Structure 1
């Protein structure tokens, strides 16, 4: 790595993980610091990079939480639509209670039906034939599960990246302490030899 390279240039884009840049481990700190950059400026850049990784982690954790909450709802809706499909051939109605709001339920009589209404989000509800609804819900459930798995993989990758940055920060800090100690010893020897 060139001596004048910055901590930011040691980050290479990685497309596999939602655009999370890959942090490069500093193999040789002496070589890295051989330019005219100070330890303070390098530590500042690394700290900035570390903060970016932590921010990315926070965003991914929020997305993961939202997906984890959605997946059971999709599964529950899919199971309900499948149940309605099994009851479609029957002439009997289904007595049910449904949630209006927190702790408020209403009774309903559900006749055999060929269609269901699904909330799509953003206050949009569409009517689907039961088979189409099952297909859509199954696709959405599979997509949510795949997204969760990918998100977990990205979180692990992200944790590795900010750990690498933390190790780099510690190595630069230790290098700086060693440099200061060496400078202090050299000036002590200089004072001792001049007296």
Structure 2
């Protein structure tokens, strides 16, 4: 039953496909319980990974637009600084309370990094940082989608293997019962 396990680029193990059930379980008379248990555990692990990846994808669905919006605003400020024009904006003071402000030329922006941390950056540094974060988040999102597809394929393979082993066992028991009934009649 043990063979080398292949993985995807992020080390998620691939489910082995059982081509020959008899060989996989160790012979015609071997028990199928351990093989069934192995595939049930595998299916459970794939479900856990899928839930984790779906949560990560949901988080990225929020994070990517936020990064893009912030990057757009910093680029806008950079453009306004280059033109020498003042920028009018609304600042959120509370959930539904805003104040209007006019911004003078500034070479510094403050970015929230998370965990109640804000740092000041020059505008070119902020643009570079946000572009890098946007690119990394996009790559992470694509990898998340690839991993979800891979896990769905592995779940299907695991379900097919489980069904094939189960059906093999049912067929074997039925044949054994028929042989016993035939012997009783003789």
- In the superposition, the TM-score normalised over structure 2's length comes to 0.91
* Of 12, 16, 34, the match for 1:24: 16
3-state DSSP of counterpart to 2:118 = strand
* Of 148, 153, 164, the match for 1:155: 148
Give the structure 2 partner of residue 122 of structure 1.
Answer: 115
Cα distance in 2 between the residues matched to 1:191 and 1:19: 55
Give the structure 2 partner of residue 82 of structure 1.
Answer: 75
Is the deviation greater in 119-128 or in 86-95?
86-95
Map 1:97-108 onto structure 2 (within 5 A).
Answer: 97-108=90-101
- Structure 1 stretches of 5 or more lacking a match? none
Contact 1:26 1:168 in 2 (8 A): yes
What is the alpha-carbon root mean square deviation over aligned residues?
1.8
* Of 158, 169, 173, the match for 2:166: 173
- In the superposition, the TM-score normalised over structure 1's length comes to 0.87
Q: Offset of 1:13 from its aligned partner?
A: 4.5
Q: Offset of 1:90 from its aligned partner?
A: 4.4
Cα distance in 2 between the residues matched to 1:42 and 1:98: 62
Contact 1:97 1:108 in 2 (8 A): yes
Cα distance in 2 between the residues matched to 1:100 and 1:19: 46
Contact 2:77 2:87 in 1 (8 A): no
- Structure 2 stretches of 5 or more lacking a match? none
